[in-house]
Structure 1
Amino acid sequence: MLKRKVFVDGVETPVGLTLWGLLRNRSDLELSCYEPFVHEGRVSRIDIAREADFAILCGNASSSLELLGHLHEGPRIIDTSGAYLSGGDVVCGLPEFFRENSALIREARVVGIPNAVASASISLLHPLFEAGYLAPRLPISIHAVQGYSALEASETRSRAETAARAERAVFRTLQTTSIDRELREIKRWTRPPQAIQLATSIGNFARGTAVHIPLFQSNLTPHHTLEDAYSLLERWYLDSCHVRVTRGATPADGIAVGEVSDTNILELYCLPGSSEESGLLAARLDNLGRGSARAAIQALNIMLDRRADFALDGCLQPECR
């Protein structure tokens, strides 16, 4: 079997470590990364990347953007860093974005992976924008809570540092500058005619993301109802192996983000509001899984002409039917 070469940039970050762990046992891939203690003075990060068939960017955006500047030819790119937002011809890395998106990913030179908050928000809003259900009059408000690993996506921390942080209460609201990437990704892939307002907080748990979007009848065009919007989301993701849509009352024990940790599952909820004129769209996903590493593997599988769900748990397993 011909092994395809995959360079993982930023392998020391939480996203990079998660992705490396999921790919390292794949017999169809040959992984590489830049190790300063091994390669410094002998070979550069750029040289290693150029030798690969695919480069998956897991570091911070500025570092990834610098690398991209040297990879105009060579490997195909899967970018989880957000560097792709600086411009260029990019395909959205969510296979469920629309029915033909897998075909675009398969042929793409550069695939951009939205982060967890953006992925959930896009998945909830894009079908409604695409079908013309949302009126352009009122802004859309998005509220998100993430685990503190979201702040460490481009950092390296020891186990002791991570454990110490886990014991502290770290619930806080991020400043506007901290959520610039999410807003840019949401706007890039939904192209909303109205304003998008986003508030993101960091909770005192390690990983996971919850997103809530209040939806009112006044947000919809005159010929559509909340029931229509919920039914559209059900139909849109009906054949998806990894996106689930649940309708009805909020679960009695709430929507716990920890229940989707270490999975590629994105769960969407269509919930009733306080009146017939209001509702709530909600989502939960693992920010290091579906929100980055596993989404990148989905894209890689499609670019290799495999099923999107192939070996997503890091080992060969029966594919989702």
Structure 2
Amino acid sequence: MTHTIFIDGEAGTTGLEIRERLKGRGELSFISLGEADRKDPAKRKEALNAADLVILCLPDDAAREAVAMIDSPTVKVIDASTAYRVASGWTYGFAELRPGQREAIVESKRVSNPGCYPTGFLGLVAPLVREGIIPGFLPMTVNAVSGYSGGGKSMIAEFEGPDAAKAPPYRAYGLGLKHKHVPEMTRHAGLTRDVLFAPSVGAYRQGMIVEVPLQLAALPSRTSIEVIHGALVEAYEGERFVEVASLEETEAMTGLTPEGLNGTNSMRLHVFGDREGEQVRLVALLDNLGKGASGAAVQNLNLMLGLYEATGLE
């Protein structure tokens, strides 16, 4: 059986990455619009309603506009914007997030692809909140650095264009503390207070590190690095794309590069800290264009179409 796919916004960074990951798959056929047709509402609406599955790689408002154009009750949608990540009626597309999430994606016709930073944060924190190790009312901080591709065409042009020599090697941003990922991270982690999110960008193309510091003495129930690590191991037992580094491995590490999983759909979680100490650094490593974007979209596509989940991702 052949499934028809339309990527609305396929000329953008995420759209190009998704199309590349889907290349050569005989069970998929694609609807593509030329530049003129992409600007024609009638042609675009026709394509949106002719596909079995639509992937939206658009800004938030354009994504909402595209969804409003879909009349066919059979069309399935994966939205890669932030427009629907906390919206009613949409399934959050992080299959490993919690028990039953994968099954919910399989059954859904509307799936919101997670953000790259939230994928790392939620991978670390959601299981610990679910197990009661981190209480939902605890104020949480997340520090993160991503390659510049996460900022889209404008940021890529800044770091790769004619004035690339003027681009800084590292830059903190989101300084107004109103980043669009905050509601997504807070809601899906099961927290009641907004996460304090401190993102930054480095002068490299892709790859990211997401870190959550924990003061164990601030937790209402006394816990340890072993308990935290054990909860994460149990949460992701048997998962293909999320793995937890052993404590022995992390204790032997002297550094971690954000580019370590580039080109994959994998995410590796680390629990750093002194086993006798009172502080822990939870760290997620992933490719912001892989598990943080296009890889996750392909994984969700496979699930929604009833295909082998890892097709095109291994």
- Shared fold (TM-score, shorter chain, > 0.5): yes
Matches within 5 A, 1:35-46: 35-37=34-36, 43-46=42-45
The C-alpha deviation readout for 1:122-154, integer Å capped at 9, x for no partner, is: 1111101111111355411100001111111x6
Query: Which residue is 1:319 aligned to?
Result: none
Runs of 4+ in 1 over 6 A off after TM superposition: 156-160
| 1:179–1:245 distance in 2 versus 1, CA, 3 Å | farther
Which residue is equivalent to 2:284?
283
Q: After the TM superposition, which residues 73-152 of structure 1 pair with which residues of structure 2 at under 5 Å, given as runs?
A: 73-74=72-73, 75-85=75-85, 87-136=87-136, 138-152=138-152
Secondary structure of 1:89's aligned partner:
coil
In structure 2, what is the Cα distance between the partners aligned to 1:156 and 1:200?
14
The one-letter code sitting in structure 1 at the alignment partner of 2:306 is: D
Gap regions ≥5 residues in structure 1: 314-321
Pick closer, same or farther for the CA change 1:235–1:160 going to 2, 3 Å: closer
Letter in structure 1 aligned against 2:47:
I
Deviations 1:48-68 (A, max 9, x none): 111101111112112111111
**Residues 1:51 and 1:213: Cα distance change in structure 2 (over 3 Å):** same
> Shift in Å at residue 165 of structure 1?
3.4
Q: Is the 8 A contact 2:142 2:212 kept in 1?
A: yes
- Report what 1:28 is aligned to: 27
- Which residue is equivalent to 2:263? 262
Cα distance, 1:183–1:21 mapped onto 2, change above 3 Å:
same
Of 46-55 and 179-188, deviating more is 179-188
Query: Unaligned stretches of 5+ in structure 2?
Result: none
Q: Secondary structure at the match of 1:259?
A: coil
How many Å apart are 1:34 and its aligned residue?
3.1
Q: Within 2, Cα distance between the matches of 1:23 and 1:63? A: 23
Aligned-pair distance for 1:247?
Answer: 3.4
- Match of residue 273 from structure 2: 272
Deviation at residue 234 of structure 1 after TM alignment: 0.8
> What is the DSSP-based 3-state SS (H/G/I as helix, E as strand, rest coil) of the residue aligned with 1:305?
coil
How many Å separate the matches in 2 of 1:104 and 1:255?
34
Residues 1:60 and 1:231: Cα distance change in structure 2 (over 3 Å): same
Residue pair 2:148, 2:155 contacting (<8 A) in 1 also? no
Equivalences for 1:1-321 in 2 at 5 Å? 2-37=1-36, 43-71=42-70, 73-74=72-73, 75-85=75-85, 87-136=87-136, 138-152=138-152, 161-162=160-161, 165=164, 168-176=167-175, 180-222=179-221, 224-248=223-247, 249=250, 252-273=253-274, 276-312=277-313
Shift of 1:253: 4.9
The aligned amino acid for 2:289 is: L
| 1:180, distance to aligned residue in structure 2 (A) | 2.3
1:181 counterpart SS class: coil
- Taking the aligned partners of 1:49 and 1:122, their CA distance within structure 2 comes to 31
TM-score, normalised to structure 2's length? 0.90
Q: Structure 2: which amino acid aligns with 1:200?
A: P
